[in-house]
Amino acid sequence: MTAPLRTTDPVVVEVALAGRAYEIVIGRGLLAGLGQRVAALRPGARAAIVTDQVVAESHLAAAQAALAAAGIESNCVIVPAGETSKSYSMFERVCEELIAARIERGDLVVALGGGVIGDLAGFAASAVRRGMDFVQVPTTLLAQVDSSVGGKTGINSGHGKNLVGAFHQPILVIADTALLDTLPPRIMRAGYAEVAKYGLIADADFFAWLEANWREVFAGTPAREHAVAVSCRMKAQIVARDERETGDRALLNLGHTFGHALEAAAGFSDRLYHGEAISIGMVLAFAFSARSGLCAPADAERVARHLAAAGLPTRISDIPGDRPDADRLIELIGQDKKVRRGKLTFILARGIGKSFIAPDIDVAAIRSFLAENLS
């Protein structure tokens, strides 16, 4: 269901990693050129497309046709849709199917899907035959602006999310913004929280642009390509500076400490999608920053207003079902993040576009802040 090509040129963002640099190509209708781009990078390679059942229905035939048009033979591995596919058993199945299809070391894995498929297929590519090349073709907004870039791959363990995995960079990312036309609105909105995150981290002008243009991003006008490109540019710069998250890659976790605890409290279920949890988490991070005298209360209010206008949840009370209490959330935060002598590292803000890593935040202050928010 790819929409017709427009005449505008695709935007290319480079992820400048020494010896492993790659391009993120962003534009409407790019899937049709997938085969040509792959053939140019790896002449003669075969490909295995890993996707999920939902994405397969809308976009697999077009991806296969695009590869075939460039003379590339492809196999497909189709897994069930959803977070439960980031499991040991599905990882085993994908690896076994790649091996059975005789995908060799010089061949390629193509991850066609959202963040779940990118993480699972990327991890399989990092392991099969001691590491194979892979191409990301992200099909959700979250995957186009976040998970397909930067090389974090992996699956979940019984102990928590993303605990088993590898850093494995793709050789190419093709972000065809037309693929988002088939996304359910709620999944589109959840991905939008990660777009707004880039403005809140380090680009106040981008946040102001989003306040004026977010409807266009959802509608799929060229504003969508612009939003994806600005987001990818920031992520690419941060990843190139700090691939392994020993420094400022942690800024990308704005809203994630609160967000992960809320997701865990909601049982990682469809009560609260990841991006929705990040929306509430970012609002809490700004409110906590304002309460601590770090940022103007008006900035915190502006963040909440914009995310709510875009249809995202912004308060813990927006989560349907039972609400966790402050002690439970602190316990979950402690499982996700190391607490050292009663202190936690948080991403806080001195204003919109002025986020920073705060390494010494008192757990007691977070607990009383959460208790206030829950009362």
Nearer to ligand NAD, 116 or 254 (CB): 116
What residues form DSSP beta bridges with 348?
356
Kindly list the distances between the CA atom of residue 232 and the CA atoms of 12, 23, 100, 227, 375, in Å, as whole numbers in the listed order: 10, 10, 35, 9, 38
Q: Does 110 bind ligand NAD (CB under 6 A)?
A: no
Catalytic residue selected from 28, 156, 253, 373: 253
- What count of Cα atoms within 13 Å lies in the side-chain half-sphere of residue 333? 27
* Distance, CA of 362 to CA of 155 (rounded, Å): 31
- 354 labelled catalytic: no
**Residue 291 annotated among the catalytic residues of the structure:** no
What distance in Å separates the CA atoms of residue 263 and residue 59, rounded to the nearest whole number? 29
Cα separation, 100 vs 339, in Å, equals 45
From 93, 129, 249, 343, active-site residue? 249
Q: Which is nearer to ligand NAD, 147 or 355 (CB)?
A: 147
Q: Closest CB to ligand NAD among 54 and 374?
A: 54
Query: With respect to ligand NAD, which residue has the nearer C-beta, 81 or 283?
Result: 81
Select which of 28, 42, 59, 152 is catalytic. Answer: 152
Given a contact cutoff of 8 angstroms between Cβ atoms, the answer to whether 84 and 113 are in contact is no
- In degrees, to the nearest 5, what angle opens at C-alpha 197 toward C-alphas 192 and 198? 110
Nearest to 266 by CA among 258, 117, 369: 258
Q: Which residues contact 252 (CB under 8 A, 6 or more apart)?
A: 146, 197, 201, 235, 238
Q: Note if 226 is an active site residue.
A: no
Taking residues 171 to 210 in sequence order and writing x for each that binds ligand NAD by CB under 6 A, - otherwise, the string is --------x--xx---x-----------------------
Minimum CB separation from ligand NAD for residue 154, in Å? 7
| Residue 87 contacts ligand NAD per CB under 6 A | no
Q: Are 196 and 202 in contact (CB under 8 A)?
A: no
Smallest gap from Cβ 261 to ligand NAD, in A, equals 15
- Member of 43, 71, 82, 267 binding ligand NAD (CB under 6 A): 82
When asked if residue 263 is in the footprint of ligand NAD (CB under 6 A), the reply is: no
Report d(CA 276, CA 313) in Å as an integer: 6
> Considering the rule CB under 6 A, would residue 147 count as an interface residue with ligand NAD?
yes
Active site residue 350: no
Is 274 catalytic? The answer is yes
Between 156 and 373, name the residue whose CB sits nearer to ligand NAD.
156
Q: How far is the CB of 307 from ligand NAD (least distance, A)?
A: 17
Rounded CA-CA distance 181/188 in Å is 9
CA pair distance 34, 175, nearest whole angstrom: 10
Contact flag: residue 276 with ligand NAD (CB under 6 A):
no
Rule CB under 6 A: choose which of 25, 31, 47, 55 binds ligand NAD: 55
Positions marked catalytic = 130, 152, 194, 235, 245, 249, 253, 256, 260, 274
Site residues (CB under 6 A) for ligand NAD? 52, 54-55, 58, 81-83, 86, 113-117, 119, 139-140, 142-143, 146-147, 150, 152, 161-162, 179, 182-183, 187, 274
